[in-house]
Structures are given as structure tokens and as C-alpha cells.
Amino acid sequence: MLFSGDKMEKEILNKLLNLGADDVIVKITDEDIEQVRFSRNRIDIAKNWQEKSADIFVALGKRTMFTTIKDFDNIDASLKTVMELAKKANENQSYYGIA
């Protein structure tokens, strides 16, 4: 899936709803990460990279689940796994839907 931002969120949301979810929240995060290593008071290595993740909340009736996905290459398989795990989750008696 090579979408960005809102398009990717909508695509994931629609896929989970099509797989049977009652409620879904998806938040895509792009993060710039920087890492600096010092040796003997000097910068030894400096790296930076970008990391994308999807935070996903799914509800099936009163069964709720929250997860983070960082591998978008196999997103369809990951979403199926999310739904399988949500079906096995204990019911959350204090969950009454997304307001």
C-alpha cells in the first residue's frame, strides 16, 4: 500500500470494517528519528531515518483491541491477524462504542 496519511488511514479503516469490525480508529504516524553516538567525547556515528506506523483500535461487539503496525508490506495479512485476535479477546464490559 503506497498511500500516505489520510488515504492510508481510510484504506485500513475500510479493510477492517469489511473484515467485520464494528468500530475502528486508525492513526498514521510519520516520525523522524535521529541517533548520535559519542566515543571519547566526539561524535562517532550520526544516523537519521523516518519511521511510519499505524496505531489501530478495533472493536467487535464488546471485544476491543489496540495494536501498532510498522510493516506495511503485508498489511492485509496483518489486518486479518488483528481481527482474529480481536475475536479471541475477552469482552470489555465498560466499552459502549465510539461516541
In this structure, the strands spanning 63-69 and 23-39 are unpaired
Q: In what side-by-side order are the strands of the sheet with 42-60?
A: 23-39, 42-60, 63-69
Split into its structural domains, the chain has a count of: 1
pTM as predicted: 0.80
Give a yes or no: residue 99 inside a domain. no
Give a yes or no: residue 54 inside a domain. yes
Residues 6+ apart with CB under 8 A from 86: 21, 58, 59, 60, 63, 64, 65
Give a yes or no: residue 96 inside a domain. no
pLDDT in tens, the chain (99 residues): 444 567 999 999 999 999 999 999 999 999 999 999 999 999 999 999 999 999 999 999 999 999 999 999 999 999 999 999 999 999 999 999 987
Give a yes or no: residue 93 inside a domain. no
Domain that holds residue 71: 6-88
Instruction: Count the alpha carbons within 13 Å of 28 in the hemisphere toward its beta carbon.
Output: 16
